[in-house]
Amino acid sequence: MYLYGGSGHARVIRDIIEACGYTLEGVIDINPNLLDFMGFPVFPDVTDDVRQMIISIGSNKIRQRIGEQYKGKIEFPAVVHPSAIVSPHIEIGEGTVVMQGAILQSSTRIGRHCIINTGASIDHECQIGDYAHISPHATLCGNVHVGEGTWVGAGSVAIPGIRIGRWSVIGAGSVIVRDIPDGVVAYGNPCRVVKEIL
């Protein structure tokens, strides 16, 4: 198993893949100054030796670009830390990482290359789009839909049935009580749109 990206986020994913029984072979990173990652070799590009890979980069846009670049060429396993509580009746897309202490309830669908971060709680029938990031200790109540590429900030809470659009950013600690459109930054209690993302 290889990681693409040698960031702090990758340090956590290393722990998760090792807890899942994978062996880390190395890290791919274009930074010429990064020669070593926690004792593992760093390579400037993906080679033919790379069969399995997790994109260990926090930026949703960059994960999308890399995921699309290598789609169908490399296996992207989904990895779930053993401490997470995950219903057997959910779907998790390729390349998605479920971190320590997260809770995923029945009939939920998580897309491709998502980050379900530490202690996040996702209740029944939620739908999380590809490349989304649900930050530490965010809570999505039942039947919440989060669009592709959206980032839900740490400690945010969405009441049941909320729809959050594509490629939006929800600020940390927000209380989401009404639908949020595509391509905006929104935050607060109650959560309000503050600007559009161009």
Strands 151-152, 169-170: pairing kind: parallel
| 145 beta partners | 127, 163
The contacts of residue 48 (CB under 8 Å, 6+ apart) are none
- Closest among 119, 164, 130, 125 to 141, alpha carbons compared: 125
Please give the structure tokens belonging to residue 153: 């900030």
Alpha-carbon 159 to chain mean position = 21
Residues known to be catalytic: 124
What 3 state SS string does 128-172 have? ECCCCEECCCCEECCCCEECCCCEECCCCEECCCCEECCCCEECC
Q: Is the peptide bond before 77 cis (omega within 30 degrees of 0)?
A: no
Q: Rounded distance, CA 15 to CA 24, Å?
A: 10
Alpha-carbon 112 to chain mean position = 9
